[in-house]
Amino acid sequence: MDHSNRASRLPARYEPPSLKALLNRMEAELKVRHRSPKTIEAYTRWVTRYVEFNQRKSPAKLGPRDAALFLSHLATAERVSASTQNQALAGLLFLYSEVLGMPLGHLEGIAHAKRPKSLPIVLSQGEVTRLLDAMEGMNRLMGSLLYGGGLRLMECVQLRVKDLDFDAKQMLIRRGKGRKDRVTLLPTCLVAPLKEHLAKVADQHRRDVAKGSGFVALPDALRIKYPNAAREWPWQWVFPASRHYIDEQTGEMRRHHVHETVLQKAVHQAIRQAGLTKPASCHTLRHSFATHLLQAGYDIRTIQKLLGHSDVRTTMIYTHVVDRGPLGVKSPLDTL
């Protein structure tokens, strides 16, 4: 079935929505489906770029051929990565199927971006030590959790007080990648520093409540189910921001969690200060966590659960970067 002339078959009085109205509708549909704020931001951004690429024509007047041309342009002219192109495709598919009610179906003729066969950057335990030693305060604590529990960046900054189980030495990661919950390690050596940190956060929270604030954002419809939870201690952020903000819908004075860029900048600065030459980042600490567990002899399935991977094949990538040389082979020069 040819969908390219779909626009010509629309009713004569049909008026496509403006871009702003379309993005608002799309954002509302994404929220109904409980998509993360990052996903909402990415999808709406790609739809905006798609409209601009097509001289600001309404997507309702465009079709599969236009979408394929846009995605091919991303791969050939802009040379985006395969994951970036797939994200743009997902945004367009959602727009047409869930917002416009005009499913694109199978897209033909797309020039696909090449997916590089790259291995993750991994630090040695000595390099991790140097990196963390170059950090201090709350940033060092967050960096230690990235490595000690294998957390992703956003999983770390979005930790709530109730997610820490000091007795069981574990952390509950809620709504991780793919909106999946999982349990991971809480290093014993971080229990005392975390309790000391939380004591300061609790004092700050009490002062906020006394001033009429002390609110935090709650996920989904929990605010309706638990109307007082937004000010209760268990729901507070482990790593709160230094400033308040006013929520437009409720008028509440809230604290957001610390912005992820704060930790990213701290890690980059520590990398330079530690004199590391590897192109490391916050996510490198998660890679290092998995690799060092594998080197310590823990089985791949256990590591998969701690990382929250759906497929063990994703976790298997770390078998290629353990400190045993390519394919686990020892060089004959070392036997001389």
Domain end, chosen from 65, 99, 133, is at 99
In this structure, is residue 171 part of a structural domain?
Answer: yes
| Model pLDDT, residue 13 | 43
* pLDDT tens track for 227-245: 888 999 999 999 999 999 9
CATH number at residue 201: 1.10.443.10
- Map residue 227 onto helix, strand or coil: coil
Q: Is the dihedral of CA 201, 206, 211, 217 positive or negative?
A: positive
The two most distant CA atoms of the chain are separated, in Å, by 84
Do residues 88 and 148 share a domain? no
User: Is residue 334 a part of any domain in this protein?
Assistant: no
Statement to judge: residues 137 and 85 lie in one domain:
no
Q: Does 142 map to a domain?
A: yes
In the predicted structure, residue 92 carries a pLDDT above the cut 90:
yes
The pLDDT tens digits for 204-223 are: 999 999 999 999 998 877 77
Q: What is the pTM of this model?
A: 0.75
Residue 278 belongs to a domain: yes
pLDDT of 35 strictly over 60: yes
The reply to whether 249 falls in a domain is yes
Would you please indicate which residues are annotated as catalytic (active-site) residues?
152, 177, 283, 286, 309, 318
Residue 335: pLDDT band with limits 50, 70, 90: low
Whether residue 271 sits in one domain with residue 209: yes
> Running DSSP on this structure, what letter comes out for residue 59?
G
Domain hosting residue 240, numbered range: 125-320
| Band (82; pLDDT cuts 50, 70, 90) | confident
* Tokens 């809230």 sit on residue: 254
106 within some domain: no
Q: How far is CA 237 from the centre of its chain?
A: 17
Assess whether 89 and 146 both reside in one domain: no
Could you give the number of structural domains in the chain? Answer: 2
Final residue belonging to a domain, choices 52, 84, 99: 99
Task: Report the half-sphere exposure of 292 (CA within 13 A, side-chain side).
Answer: 18
In a domain, 120, yes or no: no
Q: Which two tokens stand for residue 165?
A: 């189980």
